[in-house]
Amino acid sequence: MSKISLLTPFNWLLITTLGLSLAGCVKQQAVKEESSSAESLAVIDNSENVPQEVPAEHCSEPQDIWTRLRDGFQLSEHQHKRIESDLAWFERHPAYLDRVAERATPYMHLIVDELAKRGMPMEIALLPIVESAFQPFAYSHGRAAGLWQFVPGTGKRFGLRQTWWYDGRRDVAEATHAALDYLQYLHRHFDGDWLHALAAYNSGEGTVGRAIRKNKRRGKPTDYWTLDLPKETEGYVPKLLAISNLIANPPAHGVVLDSIPDMPYLVSVDVGSQIDLDLAAELAEISLEDMYLFNPGFNRWATDPDGPHHLLVPVEKAEVLTENLKQYPAEQRITWKRYTVRSGDVLGVLADKHRTTVSLIKRVNGMRGNNIRAGHTLIIPVARKDLDRYRLSSNERLETLQNRPRKGNKVEYQVREGDTLWDIARQYNIGVMQLAKWNGMAPRDPLKPGRTLVIWTNTAQKVSAINPAEFRHPFEKNTHRRIGYTVRSGDSLALISQRFRVSVDNLKRWNRRLEGKKYLQPGQRLTLYVDVKKQYGSI
């Protein structure tokens, strides 16, 4: 009999805390079983965080989360050979379920509580296994993100903000609310049929609606199992029901589920303003990695200056964070750098360099327009530690992905105006899906000029012939590297070519946007491939 072990770093501390609480019959007043999911997060009121004694007669061991799920199952009557096929796969791969359950542990109580409040089938708590395998940073080829895999449009439709700093599709609490709102809408739209609603969550209400109308015209039944749906959707609902069947009766399928107490794991703390996530982790006395895992909606090194201003932290750390925050007024929660503007500087380049946004620089400095003058001083918000410490931020996750060793030769390609993934993939004789995967993208994601893509290929000769970044040079290939250069006042192609000992022709080939241009503009970004063994003037 296989065993799905859930005694992980995530829940061991919770179980230990639970044991201590039961022994002393002490309960945090701020952590209550309430009716909404936001309430299930037990939002901390800073004035009421003192533990309160609970009379011994009210002490009882909490219910197991799996038992609560089983008690709320509503779809178990559905049987089909497609379910049996998926169930057999899960029985053969208990290690997969083990990994998924470990990732789900911090989030499960939050989801289950919200389902209970709404009276929805508890099988839906297992839907993130099908959608994302409970990976909070999951991103699909269809541009879907987060545990619940919202695409951008549907996310906005259900109130999930998506900015440079923050993506509500990955915010565990907000995305859970939105996903259940969407499923309830679909349930009403399809006259109370949960399987139709689930199928529509995967492929869209229009797709399912057309399949139903098609069957009606042909005099066929319109239940989910008889509909002509996309292949992915035909496998989507059976997979959820197979997992539900396994959870409903683990011994019958050769698995044992370790008990998870049906208690809140995470609690929401209102921090009130933008805060560096490294500082927040330090104040909560947890690792920065855990801070990102509990709050995957934040893309960068800090929370969004425009909110939300709440952070999810383990229950036992909420009071610690709340008390420590009192020592840090809003202006001390972000590190500020004084920067003297140089000739040729532009706000966009400065924002990219410091991993912040033009709008925030303008707001902090009381600017209305984008013009800056050499010699003026700007206050720029920056991360308090080296950026590589924030390894689960969006930029660092991408860098880790792009630097992952793979087969073949690695080529770095800088996107130019008018480029598309399809064009680049065709040039290198690779698949669009593969190219997108290497670069943490979806095939339909827009390409921004200046972005660097990585490409892995075994056809070095073809690469040299078609990619300006790989034109053959008179020096050894392994001695040249790509650099970025910002044009300064007084620069010309001739001066730059002399400084870096490259030809004007190569400069033009490496930078297509220079074709037909007579003059360079200060602040313009150029790409150069230079011999690192040679010495240059100041870059």
**Which residues belong to the active site?**
131
**Amino acid code (one letter) for 485:** Y
Classify 198 as helix, strand or coil: helix
Q: Coil, strand, or helix at residue 197?
A: helix
| DSSP letters for 397-430 | HHHHHHTS--SSEEEEEE--TT--HHHHHHHHT-
Helix (H) or strand (E) holding 395: helix 394-402
Nearest to 416 by CA among 442, 452, 443, 445: 452
Q: If you count DSSP H runs as helices and E runs as strands, how many of each does the chain have, helices first?
A: 22, 12
In whole angstroms, give the CA distance from residue 106 to residue 8: 10
Burial status of residue 202 (CB atoms within 10 A of its CB: 0-12, 13-18, 19 or more): buried
Burial class of 302 by CB neighbour count within 10 A (0 to 12, 13 to 18, 19+): buried
3-state SS assignment for residue 486:
strand
Residue 435 near residue 453 (C-beta atoms within 8 A): yes
Nearest to 410 by CA among 481, 320, 352: 481
Strand ranges for 315-393 from DSSP E: 335-340, 377-382
Are 408 and 455 spatial neighbours (Cβ–Cβ below 8 Å)?
Answer: no
Whole-angstrom distance, CA of residue 486 vs CA of residue 496 = 11
Give the pairing of strands 525-531 and 480-486.
antiparallel
